[in-house]
């Protein structure tokens, strides 16, 4: 299963030529996608009424992995690992990474700069 980061969905939304997006290219090589609850939150909180239909349709076709107790514990672990290296990330990125790491999923992102700070995370980047 491939966990899709928010950055991949935002690029897909913004680009007119959908076939040139990372999400489109991932669909050519992967058959199963999911997003974390945190990605759903990030997308919807940034959406406006004119965009809601697009997001409801797209998000309705992708499985959503909940932020559960095990993911919360994994997020804390990531925070401690980053702090030990004097690094920091926002909660959302840590929680998305924790979802991927805890579930054993690859994480597709356009935000390699942030996610490469996290160890034992299997990234798929452009």
Query: How distant, in Å, are the alpha carbons of 39, 43, 57, 71, 114 from that of 94?
Result: 11, 16, 26, 10, 9
Q: What is 2-124's CATH number?
A: 3.40.50.1010
N-to-C CA span, the chain: 18
Report yes or no: 19 and 49 within 8 Å, Cβ to Cβ.
no
Domain-by-domain residue ranges, the chain? 2-124
What integer pLDDT is reported at residue 106 of this predicted model?
97
Chain centre distance of CA 106:
10
What integer pLDDT is reported at residue 30 of this predicted model?
92
What integer pLDDT is reported at residue 23 of this predicted model?
97
What integer pLDDT is reported at residue 115 of this predicted model?
97
Q: Which two tokens stand for residue 23?
A: 């999400």
pLDDT tens across 12-30, in order? 999 999 999 999 999 999 9
Q: What are phi and psi of 111, to 5 degrees?
A: -105, 55
What integer pLDDT is reported at residue 50 of this predicted model?
95
What integer pLDDT is reported at residue 12 of this predicted model?
97
Burial of 38 (0-12, 13-18, 19+ CB in 10 A): buried
pLDDT tens across 35-46, in order? 999 999 999 999
Listed as ranges, residues in the chain with pLDDT below 50 are none
12 contact partners, CB below 8 Å, separation of at least 6: 18, 21, 22, 23, 24, 58
Mean pLDDT score of the chain, rounded to an integer? 96
Instruction: Pick the closest to residue 90 from 40, 23, 42 (CA basis).
Output: 42
């Amino acid at each position: 299963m491939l966990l899709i980061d928010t950055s991949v969905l935002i690029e897909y939304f913004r680009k007119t030529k959908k076939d040139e997006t990372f999400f489109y290219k991932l669909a050519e090589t992967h058959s199963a996608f999911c997003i974390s609850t945190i990605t759903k939150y990030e997308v919807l909180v940034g959406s406006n009424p004119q965009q809601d239909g697009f997001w409801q349709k797209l998000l309705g076709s992708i499985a959503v992995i909940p932020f559960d107790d095990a993911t919360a514990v994994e997020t804390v672990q990531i925070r401690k690992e980053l702090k030990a290296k004097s690094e920091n990330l926002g909660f959302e990125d840590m929680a998305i990474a924790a979802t991927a790491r805890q579930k054993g999923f690859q994480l597709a992102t356009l935000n390699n700069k942030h996610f490469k700070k996290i160890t034992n995370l299997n990234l798929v980047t452009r």
